[in-house]
Amino acid sequence: MSVKAKNIEPALFSLLEKPLRVVVTRAFDDHYSHEEKVLLVMNVFEALRDKPVDMLVAESNDNHIEIRSAGYGLKDNELDEKTVVLRIKEYFPVRKFWAKVDTIQDEYGEYYLLTLLFPEDY
């Protein structure tokens, strides 16, 4: 994957007792306003809290944003590619995007890295 992340935010949240850091691709950052990104990130956090998986897909569907699982469970490693985890009213146009969770081990310890990107950026 060749993604140029804007920056890594400090771990303000945790997922399954590990810090969770967030990055967005340059294209994602350029596409949405700051307020829109904050709303989308908060929706993704809510979906991950309910269904901790390594990949979520968010897209518009009938004037709503649907976030569905599209990967393996972070707890049980079970594949789930269909469960709609969150469905909320769409307040602005949402382009289909992925929320990818990777486990990172580096000099800062072990944490989850959440990357928000458009499928064509992968």
Domain boundaries of the chain, sorted by first residue: 21-117
The fraction of the chain above a pLDDT of 90, given in percent, is 74
Q: What is the pLDDT of residue 1?
A: 45
Q: What SS3 state is found at 42?
A: helix
Q: What is the pLDDT of residue 11?
A: 53
Provide Rg for the chain, Cα atoms. 14
Q: What is the pLDDT of residue 17?
A: 84
* Mean pLDDT value of segment 36-45: 94
pLDDT digit string, tens, across residues 74-95: 999 999 999 999 999 988 999 9
Look at strands 97-106 and 84-89 and give their pairing. Answer: unpaired
pLDDT digit string, tens, across residues 104-113: 998 878 899 9
pLDDT tier for residue 51 given thresholds of 50, 70 and 90: very high
Q: What SS3 state is found at 5?
A: strand
Q: What is the pLDDT of residue 9?
A: 53
Question: Which amino acid, 12?
Answer: L
What torsion, rounded to 10 degrees, do the Cα atoms 37, 39, 41, 46 define? -170
